[in-house]
Chain A
Amino acid sequence: MPDKRVPDERGRIEFTKEMRKTYKILFPNMAEIHFRILQNVLRAYGYNVELLTNDGQEVVDEGLKYVHNDICYPALLTIGQMISALKSGKYDLDHVALMMSQTGGGCRASNYIFLLRKALKNAGMGQVPVISVNLSGLEKNSGFQITLPLLRRALAALTYGDLLMLLANQTRPYEKNPGETDAHVDRWVQEICAQFLQGKGFQPKAIKAQLGRIVADFETVELLPVRKVKVGIVGEIYAKYSPLANNHLEEFLRSQDCEVNVPGLMGFMLFKVDNRLDDIQLYGGNPLKKFVVQALFNYLRVFETYTLDAVAASKRYHKPASYLEVKEMVRPLVGYGCKMGEGWFLTGEMIELIQSGYENIVCAQPFGCLPNHIVGKGKIRQIREMYPQANIVPIDYDSGATRVNQENRIKLMLSVAREHLHDA
């Protein structure tokens, strides 16, 4: 018999210690490489987790059915994906929980988790607990705690994920033997997961050394001397990474013979931590809080530096700008107080890409995304003025927007990009 199934006044069911033993936890996919490693980290900690990869129309349909249709597309999709999975019959509804991240900013995304609970209730699956993954102390569960050891491994997963994604993106379009890059990625993901299980590979020193080995290993992939159109992807965090949300954007761009650059997740993490420092700077605040946040920020930066140093050691790979460099680049364009959603960091990533030679950019946003009115579409004009070579196309994603229209617009961007490549 399930126990402790009494919802609190907000309809929340706690995920208890007892549940941890017998429950399967489902969580939605976003950035593929990162989440594959993360899944293994959680498993190593005794959580019976499963990464959801179900795709297709029924995900959208379930989302439309159980979520307000005007809500952001990412909410609609993740919730649709979870409900569709629960309805598939693959899981015992009395022994399954869902996990979702919660940011807690001024963006409506902080409400996803509540929308998910509401949807579950309407779908007659109100007994399924939802675990909030947040660092703001918004909700707590006795059966799921983000402990320091877990956090360290998650951070390592993030760091490895960013590097592998970067290397893969810069190698795959030029590889001589098709499939070689992906084979490298797979091997490293397996290797890293195995190390984690043995309690290795996530200590700072180990990470540092291993990042170097990974870069060296990717350098062995034989390349062809060809030039390709370079395209960067920025946007709302989920629409940027998740193929489910962006209609397999990366795959499409690759099919159009492009090199794709998707900036890593670490920058976004640093941004979210740094926000708190900027808030204190702008409006005043508790010095102790500032000290703690600053320490966390510095800690994260160590890992960012490892990644960047590893890339810089290679002649072959392009090193992206660091978080603080991006922050400096964006200074003339957006105030640092602009923090909801992706905030100024989205604008910053566009500039970083342009300065790095990825002047062709797809800005992926869910239809009607509020922060993107400001830092996406709202800033493109000024970016174009500052960087005339910038070739940016904002693409809206939602259940009604069709792929043919999206691809047509991207193709226009690519026609101009090819012209630039030709003229250069």
Chain B
Amino acid sequence: MEICKTPLSGCVELLPNVLKDARGRFVKIYHQEVFTSLGLDTNFTEEYYSVSAMNTIRGLHFQVPPHDHVKCVTCVYGKIFDVVVDLRKSSPTYKQAFSITLDADKGNILYIPKGFAHGFQVLSETAVFLNKTTTVYHPESESGISWNSCGINWPGLKPMLSEKDKQLINLDNFNTPFE
């Protein structure tokens, strides 16, 4: 597994080996010891996936402390435009966004530390997005900021969002709980 830095400290892209043969493909997206040797968290207690139509945007989401968590996201089918926004007050890149294409053919993974909002838009006909988190879902700690308030250049023309995501607060009006 190869690790590549992003402009946001602590947020890294991981490139797994993709093994191909006559049967198809095999991709190892998580290995505890490898994660530990790379200095990454390994205490993943929840996992979920979503299946979304083209142009769907889900985000920008996070959980507030003390239920905040690390996310490890990947696209196992199709292709997505994946985005994170740094919400850590003391970070030199506070309020900065970073985007990356996650592609099932590459199997690339984005490791997102605590203190980031996360979202994505589907670039393919459908996409299966898979996420692991280091704390379980905690409804009262669930929070988010509006997808179009962070200066992100979304690639899809007609974004499809849930009512809930449409009503999220703007980044500028958001009082971050992350140090």
**A and B found bound together:** no
A→B interface (CB under 8 Å): none
